[in-house]
Chains A and B, each alone.
Chain A
């Protein structure tokens, strides 16, 4: 007797919904093993994390603060992944977005003050798009492996940001603090509750717009086709090279906008610690949401909750902050493992004589 995987005739809708939920439960169980081994009570730890993230309105606004960049970078990654372009450079594009916005805010003194915020955000998007455009053009023209180029450029981006805030852009009145001058108040992204700023509504609107574009327009159809079958797409006259570059510019612009809203809405300067790893978490968000922009909304709030809860853990229980990364890995492994069941079912075969 042995167990084999048998292909389903059609993808099962029920399983598609069930898999993320069951995976989440499995992850919590795996996580409790890790917590148990490090001497913490899993149940009370999870309860503590949940309360820390969703317990009070103020806690929830902190979760929203993290959900904004996660949603924007997650959307960018999901869009690129739809093309089967493995953009793992959202982190670098996020940092470039922050750099672009800070450049406008700190150095474009000639701008009328009301224009500071819109032009600053646009510049963040342009910078993020540029950073994603490099690997996209390399891939489209010469087939250069994008996983490696996007990742390598993350390291370059963070070193460049360090160069700026330790070097020429450092606030001369900052007592050596590694960061730029504070942005003029007119350039700040207004907040509606706690530290949660209006970038949230921008991100939500973009998620809905992207969903519409992907599911209802020719462009969205082409992207899906290229992702599924490049040869067929080419036969139908789709320019794959152009699609890659255009789509990646948008993907980078979204990650760039995430960096832009982060500096304009939260830190109000470019400073040490801008590389918070949102761009990597974005990969998990995109995959958990099965590359669906609307699902990204829910998943990014959930992931933000995990991060905020994890931070609380660190402050109160003293668990290291890398616990967050461990949990993210534990979340994704069961999800990846479980996705097989949307296309296959388990079947027990009794050995028969051949």
Chain B
């Protein structure tokens, strides 16, 4: 295990962390406005399969990812209609969305299991070294010798941070999540902002799924998301609802996702099953530490998970 191996490993962790950070940003925006959407896994599946089939049909990387984002938005809108307009239980609705999305992807994807993503899309997303930044020793190799979607993700993190902390719309959305009553009396549309944030969140989760099926794998496999959506939900908590911190968490879990595979070459006396279980076990362990240190959801938006009824003010 020399430096070279380690740089290589971290570079791969950045790639494995990219779908995680996209999904985490999506759930983070959603939760900021007060909706707890546990359908991340389902929306990722919907994005993965629609992105993949759109890619197969059109051969266009652009349309493939638009399709993935739209599929995520569709899932989020189902969730929104049932929980915001019809006021159903958010937790059970989110679980249902996860189940539905998983089944939906399996249903559409069964005939194309094993099929590869179109060559044009694979070629579009080869690693490209950025000028200047890519020449920084070690750091450049890890972060700036990646595919375009990784770079887009860096931009998205900054955009989400800017939106939430610096823009009027993002601040309005945050007020809706913290105190819907106050938001409503300020003339901010609670329902409007919740739908808006759900849609943005759904688009990001859909993109995350598309990244997995079109770039990361890149062929259609059954049960491809493998709990990454749930890890994203946990990452939102670890990040204390902060998009920049979310990236660090996603990198860490991206590393855990691939560590098993990478360590195989060393013939370590560790069971591969244990290594495969690491991301899930670590999620539980980090959650426990996080909760022990502070009240687990004390950084959460105060109105998270509670529906808002104007007439019951």
Contact = CB atoms under 8 A, between A and B. Distances in A.
A340 B87 CA distance: 6
A336 B271 CA distance: 43
B115 to A, nearest CB: 15
B215 to A, nearest CB: 24
A160 B230 CA distance: 19
Contacts of A144: 284, 287-288, 291, 296
Interface in A176-217: none
A324 B103 contact: yes
A332 B100 CA distance: 9
Contact of A320 (B87, B102, B107, B295): B107
B281 interface: yes
A300 interface: no
B40 to A, nearest CB: 11
Contact of A142 (B102, B107, B230, B288): B288
A215 B277 CA distance: 40
Contacts of A241: none
Contact of B106 (A6, A322, A340): A322
B38 interface: yes
A152 B110 contact: no
A320 B287 CA distance: 37
B237 A152 contact: no
B291 to A, nearest CB: 4
B276 A159 contact: yes
Nearest to A328: B99
B99 A156 contact: no
B165 interface: no
Interface stretch (B65-73, B89-97, B124-132, B187-195): B89-97
Contact of A326 (B103, B237, B277, B281): B103
B113 to A, nearest CB: 10
A325 B287 contact: no
Given A142-B296, A148-B230, A151-B230, A322 B103 contact: yes
B273 A333 contact: no
B291 A143 contact: yes
Nearest to A142: B291
B82 interface: yes
Contact of B273 (A38, A159, A280): A159
Interface string B199-227: 00000000000000000000000000011
A22 B88 CA distance: 16
B28 interface: no
B103 A329 contact: yes
B106 A156 contact: no
Contacts of A307: none
Interface residues of A, number: 49
Q: Secondary structure at chain A's binding surface: helix, strand, loop or mixed?
A: helix
B237 A328 contact: no
Given A144-B296, A329-B99, A320 B277 contact: no
Given A5-B87, A86-B91, A148-B233, A328 B280 contact: no
A142 B292 contact: yes
Interface centre among A4, A144, A167, A344 (most CB of B within 10 A): A144
Nearest to A6: B311
A153 B106 CA distance: 23
Contacts of A320: 106-107, 110-111
A34 B88 CA distance: 24
Residue with the greatest number of chain B CB neighbours at <10 A, chosen from A5, A284, A320: A320
A138 interface: yes
A324 B103 CA distance: 7
A152 B283 contact: yes
B183 interface: no
A326 B96 CA distance: 10
Interface in B75-95: 78, 81-82, 86-89, 91-93, 95
A48 interface: no
A283 B245 CA distance: 33
Contacts of A5: 87
Contacts of B92: 283, 287, 332, 336
The CB with the most chain B CB atoms within 10 A, among A38, A319, A323, is that of A323
Interface string A136-160: 0010001111011101110110011
Contacts of B105: 322
A339 B83 CA distance: 11
Interface string A161-174: 01100010000000
Given A320-B107, A329-B100, A336 B88 contact: yes
Contacts of A330: 100
A129 interface: no
Central interface residue in A151, A156, A319, by most chain B CB within 10 Å? A151
Q: Which interface residue of B89, B100, B105, B295 has the most chain A CB atoms within 10 A?
A: B100
A145 B38 CA distance: 12
B100 A326 contact: yes
Contacts of B234: 145, 148, 152
A143 B97 CA distance: 25
B244 interface: no
Q: Which 3 A-B pairs have the closest CB atoms?
A: A325-B103, A329-B100, A322-B106
Interface of B: 38, 78, 81-82, 86-89, 91-93, 95-97, 99-107, 110-111, 226-227, 230, 233-234, 237, 271, 273-274, 276-277, 280-281, 283-284, 287-288, 291-292, 295-297, 311-312
Given A322-B106, A322-B107, A325-B100, 7 more contacts: A5-B87, A149-B287, A159-B276, A160-B277, A163-B273, A322-B110, A325-B99
6 contacts: A138-B291, A142-B296, A148-B234, A283-B92, A325-B103, A326-B103
